[in-house]
């Protein structure tokens, strides 16, 4: 029980850090929540919840916020939230990356969701492959639309995936592929961690 409580406290702390940095970057730019919402295409209420640590924000939505604030997505996370990536990739050509299983993959945590990046950076590559671990609980993120495409394959657990206002329950082996310009979100309404292989475009970092 102590381990579960400690994990929840650590998750809340990371969630607060993302929201606190969002507020700081927004005020440094002289933007109101209304101004940021208009630039990022997100609601004022949702952004307010993120800044207060009440709601978490997915990487694609955070990418829009980062673009609106002219900040790299990585700056919204504490240094301890991401691991060093494999140095072997530095010697590879720009059209190819190789990520070893034993390498220290980069991870980002936002609220109940942990994103493990599966590919190092390559300037001529457009896909962003990730393993996403979605813990149960937390507030449901509002449906969000953005440029690009999105694919998700459920490895373990169950997931509610909303596409254009319609909910679909995904189980192990199920997948969904959509144009991200259609409003969508995902939520784990079970009491177990759900693991998903996700591929999105464009790259987030």
In a domain, 113, yes or no: yes
d(CA 96, CA 54): 40
Contact predicate 150/178, CB 8 Å: yes
Contact predicate 63/22, CB 8 Å: no
Kindly report, residue by residue over 47-71, the tens digit of the pLDDT: 998 998 888 888 888 988 999 999 9
Same domain assignment for residues 70 and 121: no
- Judging by beta carbons within 10 Å of its beta carbon (0-12, 13-18, 19+), is residue 180 exposed, middle or buried? middle
Same domain assignment for residues 11 and 66: yes
Q: What is the pTM of this model?
A: 0.74
In a domain, 195, yes or no: yes
Contact predicate 61/19, CB 8 Å: no
In a domain, 87, yes or no: no
Q: Which of 36, 57, 76 is the last residue of a domain?
A: 76
Q: How many distinct structural domains can be found in the chain?
A: 2
Is it the case that residue 121 has pLDDT exceeding 90?
no
Kindly report, residue by residue over 158-178, the tens digit of the pLDDT: 999 999 999 999 999 999 999
What rounded mean pLDDT belongs to the chain? 83
Q: Which of 31, 60, 76 is the last residue of a domain?
A: 76
Least confident of 80-89, 150-159, 172-181: 80-89
Q: What is the CATH number of the domain that holds 23?
A: 1.10.260.40
pLDDT of residue 12: 46
Range of the domain at 191: 107-201
Q: What is the mean pLDDT of residues 106-113?
A: 84
Same domain assignment for residues 194 and 111: yes
Q: What is the mean pLDDT of residues 177-198?
A: 95
């Amino acid at each position: 029980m102590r381990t579960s409580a400690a994990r929840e406290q650590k998750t809340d702390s990371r969630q607060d850090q993302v929201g606190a940095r969002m507020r700081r970057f927004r005020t440094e730019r002289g933007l109101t929540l209304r101004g940021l919402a208009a630039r990022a295409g997100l609601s004022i209420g949702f952004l307010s919840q993120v800044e207060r640590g009440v709601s978490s924000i997915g990487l694609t939505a955070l990418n829009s916020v980062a673009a609106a604030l002219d900040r790299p997505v990585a700056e919204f996370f504490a240094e301890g939230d991401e691991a060093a990536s494999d140095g072997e990739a530095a010697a590879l050509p720009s059209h190819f990356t190789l990520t070893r299983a034993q390498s220290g993959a980069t991870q980002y945590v936002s609220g109940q969701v942990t994103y493990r990046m599966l590919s190092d950076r390559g300037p001529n590559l457009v896909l962003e492959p990730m393993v996403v671990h979605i813990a149960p609980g937390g507030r449901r993120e509002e449906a969000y639309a953005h440029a690009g495409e999105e694919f998700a394959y459920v490895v373990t657990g169950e997931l509610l995936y909303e596409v254009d206002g319609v909910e679909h329950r995904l189980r192990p082996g199920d997948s969904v592929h959509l144009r991200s310009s259609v409003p969508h979100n995902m939520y784990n309404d079970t009491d177990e961690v759900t693991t998903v292989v996700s591929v999105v475009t464009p790259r987030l970092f």
